[in-house]
Amino acid sequence: MKTLIIKNGTVIDPNSRLNKKIDIEIKQGKITNMKPKIMLEKKHEVINAKGLIIVPGFVDLHVHLREPGFTHKETIKTGSLAAAKGGYTTICAMPNTEPAIDTVKSLMNLNHIIKKDAAINVLPIGAISKKRLGNKLTPVASMQKNGIVALSDDGDHLDDESMMIEAMKKSKQFSIPISQHCEEQALVHNGHLHEGWVSDHLGIKGRPREAESNMVKRDIAIAEKFGGHLHIAHISTKESVKLVEKAKKYNLTVTAEVTPHHLDLTHESIGVSNIGAKIQEPLFNTNMKVNPPLREKEDVDACIEGLNNDIIDAIATDHAPHSFSEKSVVFEKAPPGISGLESAFSIGMRLVQKKKIKFEKLIDKLTYGPAKAWNLNEIKGMEGIGKIKIGHNADITLINKSKKWTYSKQQIISMGKNSPYIDNVFQGKVVMTLRRGKIIFNHRKLEVL
């Protein structure tokens, strides 16, 4: 393997607070040198990053890769390639597969597929409960030994309080986060979008905001009493953000993530053909159907503020691919979920362009923020995740901040084309992704010096 030099780019590394023109030398997949001017030699291979921003490979704490069991929606291979295109080098795979990742056996099988097919680091998450039924805990210790980085019954909330207490005790014992999909099942039963004027208008039962905040409150109370690490997945209401803020003030181990769509869209979008266009008639766009649902403007604002104040630790996509035919049904029958890996960064750039969030903050929430939230760097072999640091893996993403591009259906690598952003024009694009020093995504053939 030749020595690789990334030249003339600006490096932003949130962990070390670096923001500077610096060249990077990569040998054997590791970063071996970083300094303002690395002299080129004949043996060097060079990436000219002039005008580009160099950041750590993105980290996603919440991705549904669907394999095994639902390979008509996505596979480890297609999902990890989609992630690479989105700038990700590390993603955490939710266990709501078939079978669910609830035993060492199913985990070993998953690890085997990952080893064979994954284009990037895919870190497995184990189910909290057997078959995700919410009534019997999974073997945490042995699953952790085999690589799970968190526990989650995502898709459903763990309603049973005594089970949640037991889960949090395990969390404390094994220092492993519990990623909770906070929506009380009894309250959201048969609901398909945010309970509010749009659900009233469309005549479809809503999912009330209290379904989320009630459970965030309950789970924080459990964390306070029993310890453990509670991670609020895809936070979406202003009340929940307030609750997490309070929990952090009390120094509880509570972390939170937010999705790009909850930072950008509201329930009103469900009645609009093109985002930003004036409402003509409700169009029941099933690609806007997601759980938790798209909320109100105040909630979007609270989530953005939460990111800025570090109440929310990470942006996570909740990438939830579905096949075209599954989404081509009436709104109430469509499965919830948005395919999000390839648009996340560019949606974030929209917030930057609207001056709602600083670029450096966006990068932090996509890289070191999530790594730190789950203490991924404390796991052996993962010390460099979310960082650009000498001695660590060269997992690196190159960004063109001003590049305009159209998010067209044909270009989506994920098998799930279920995005409300199809045909949107974005400004800001991931142009190259390197994993362990190897180019795994290249937007265009970059000039070689």
Partner 1 sequence: MPSNKKHSWKHKHLLDVDSLASTEYKSIFSLAEKYNKLLNNKKMIKKTLSNVNIFNLFYEPSTRTRASFELAGKLLGANVINIASNISATQKGESLINTIKTINAMHSDIIILRHEDSGAAYLASQNTDKSVINAGDGSHAHPTQALTDSYTLLRKFKSLKNIKITMVGDIKHSRVARSNILLLTKLGAKITLCGPKVLIPKSFSTDNKSRSKEFSFKNINIEHDLDKAIKNADVIMALRMQTERQHSKNIPSLKEYAKKYQITNRHLHSINKNCLLMHPGPVNEGVEISKEVAESSLSQIEEQVSNGVAVRMAILELIYLNN
Q: Report the nearest approach of Zn ion to the CB of residue 215 (Å).
A: 12
Which residues have C-beta within 8 Å of that of residue 277, sequence separation ≥ 6?
A: none
Query: Between 127 and 270, whose beta carbon lies closer to partner 1?
Result: 270
Instruction: Give the residue, chosen from 29, 227, 282, 335, that forms a contact with partner 1 under the rule CB under 8 A.
Output: 282
Point out the catalytic residue in the list 23, 102, 154, 318: 318
DSSP 14: T
Which does residue 333 touch among Zn ion, partner 1, none (CB within 5 to 8 A, set by kind)?
A: partner 1
- Ramachandran bin of 375, using left for φ above 0, alpha for ψ from -120 to 50, beta for the remaining angles: left
Query: Between 154 and 264, whose beta carbon lies closer to Zn ion?
Result: 154
Q: Please report, as residue ranges, which positions from 317 to 356 form the binding site for partner 1 (by CB under 8 A).
A: 325, 328-333
Residue 165 main-chain phi, psi, to 5 deg: -65, -45
| Number of residues near partner 1 (by CB under 8 A) | 25
Q: What angle is formed at CA 154 by the lines to CA 234 and CA 284, rounded to 5 degrees?
A: 65
Q: Report the nearest approach of partner 1 to the CB of residue 93 (Å).
A: 30
Which does residue 268 touch among partner 1, Zn ion, none (CB within 5 to 8 A, set by kind)?
A: partner 1
Q: Does 154 bind Zn ion (CB under 5 A)?
A: yes
Q: Report the nearest approach of partner 1 to the CB of residue 297 (Å).
A: 8
Closest by CA position to 90, among listed 118, 125, 121, 61: 121
Q: Report the nearest approach of partner 1 to the CB of residue 269 (Å).
A: 12
Q: Does 276 bind partner 1 (CB under 8 A)?
A: no
Q: Which range of residues in 106-114, 123-131, 134-142, 200-208 is near partner 1 by CB under 8 A?
A: 200-208
| In contact, 107 and 147? CB cutoff 8 Å | yes
Q: Which range of residues in 93-101, 189-197, 308-316, 370-378 is near partner 1 by CB under 8 A?
A: 189-197
Concatenated DSSP letters for 94-149?
-S-SSS-S-SHHHHHHHHHHHHHH-SSEEEE-B-SBGGG-SSSB--HHHHHHTT--
Closest by CA position to 126, among listed 105, 103, 109, 145: 103
| In contact, 322 and 337? CB cutoff 8 Å | yes
What distance in Å separates the CA atoms of residue 138 and residue 417, rounded to the nearest whole number?
33
Which residues have C-beta within 8 Å of that of residue 320, sequence separation ≥ 6?
A: 64, 290, 336, 337, 338, 339, 340, 416, 418
DSSP 51: T
Instruction: Give the residue, chosen from 36, 277, 281, 448, that forms a contact with partner 1 under the rule CB under 8 A.
Output: 281
- The token pair that represents 238 in the structure block: 């202003």
Query: Between 181 and 192, whose beta carbon lies closer to Zn ion?
Result: 181
- The token pair that represents 80 in the structure block: 């990890």
Q: Please report, as residue ranges, which positions from 286 to 345 form the binding site for Zn ion (by CB under 5 A).
A: none
Query: Between 269 and 393, whose beta carbon lies closer to partner 1?
Result: 269
| In contact, 65 and 80? CB cutoff 8 Å | yes
Which does residue 154 touch among Zn ion, partner 1, none (CB within 5 to 8 A, set by kind)?
A: Zn ion
What distance in Å separates the CA atoms of residue 166 and residue 245, rounded to the nearest whole number?
24
What distance in Å separates the CA atoms of residue 14 and residue 315, rounded to the nearest whole number?
14
Instruction: Give the residue, chosen from 25, 245, 296, 313, that forms a contact with partner 1 under the rule CB under 8 A.
Output: 296
Q: Which range of residues in 6-14, 174-182, 201-209, 422-430 is near Zn ion by CB under 5 A?
A: 174-182
Q: Report the nearest approach of partner 1 to the CB of residue 261 (Å).
A: 19
| In contact, 67 and 106? CB cutoff 8 Å | no
Q: Does 201 bind partner 1 (CB under 8 A)?
A: yes
Query: Between 151 and 290, whose beta carbon lies closer to partner 1?
Result: 290
Q: Does 268 bind Zn ion (CB under 5 A)?
A: no
Q: Is 318 part of the annotated catalytic residue set?
A: yes
The contact set with partner 1 (CB under 8 A) reads 190, 196-197, 200-204, 268, 278-284, 296-297, 325, 328-333
